Amino acid sequence: MHFSFCSLSELCTSVFFFKLCYDSLYFISSLETFCSMAEISSRQRPYQEVANLLRSLILERRYGIGTRLPPERELADILGVSRTVIREALIMLEIEGVLAVRRGAGVFIIRMPDDEAEIHEASDQKADNNAGPFEILQARQLLESNIAEFAAQQATREDIIKMRRALQIQEEELEFDSMKQGIWNSILQ
């Protein structure tokens, strides 16, 4: 058996070289993982990623029903995206019925999103869809305005009375929900 003795500086150099190689391999492996994750997430548009993140935060109970989200500018700063991306994500969640945008008051959570599995399934389907939230909103406005016009032309006096009563009930329910949320928030604080 042959042992070779080396100086302390040679040993340190060898250990340093080994550590450098190990760290480089680890870095390359991490970089490959990051790149493959980036490829997966690049299938989604930025607003979809932000919407998924907001959904997850709501599901984790970081934001509860009735909670007001931070302003668009603050969300954009926190997430490092433009206000346009934030706005599109909020519109997407509004279309899904998760959020309500109240002019002058802010954006509020009105219901819990679907569970995590449905979120990822929906986001995969939306990644393949070229229509963004603005296009969907425009289509919805076209349809709804035509439906409203047709309904107005066909409405009878009884229909109008029923609609007024339904509107009154809805306003009462919103008032009650707001009051209930205020009581709930005061209990939590």
Give domain status of residue 69, yes or no: yes
- Could you tell me how far CA 162 lies from the centroid of its own chain? 37
Domain of residue 98 covers 46-109
Q: Quickly list DSSP for 100-145.
A: EEETTTEEEE-SPPPPHHHHHHHHHHHHH----HHHHHHHHHHHHH
**Same domain? 137 vs 104:** no
Helix, coil or strand: residue 70: coil
Residue found by looking up tokens 């935060």 in the block: 57
**Same domain? 104 vs 147:** no
CA distance 42 to 156: 52
Q: Which helix (H) or strand (E) holds 68?
A: none
Overall domain count for the chain: 2
Give domain status of residue 21, yes or no: no
**Same domain? 50 vs 88:** yes
CATH number for position 78 = 1.10.10.10
Give domain status of residue 145, yes or no: yes
Give domain status of residue 169, yes or no: yes
Give domain status of residue 8, yes or no: no
Give domain status of residue 64, yes or no: yes
CA distance 185 to 146: 40
Q: pLDDT, tens digit, for every residue of 113-153? A: 876 545 555 555 555 566 677 777 788 888 888 898 998 89
- Tell me the whole-structure pTM to 2 decimals: 0.46
**In the listed set 94, 109, 124, which residue is the last one of a domain according to the structure?**
109
Per-residue pLDDT of the chain (189 residues; tens, 9 = 90+): 444 444 444 444 444 444 434 433 433 343 343 333 344 345 688 889 999 999 988 888 787 888 899 999 999 998 899 999 999 999 999 988 899 988 888 999 998 887 654 555 555 555 556 667 777 778 888 888 889 899 889 999 999 999 999 999 999 988 888 887 777 777 766
CA distance 63 to 56: 10
- Could you tell me how far CA 15 lies from the centroid of its own chain? 47
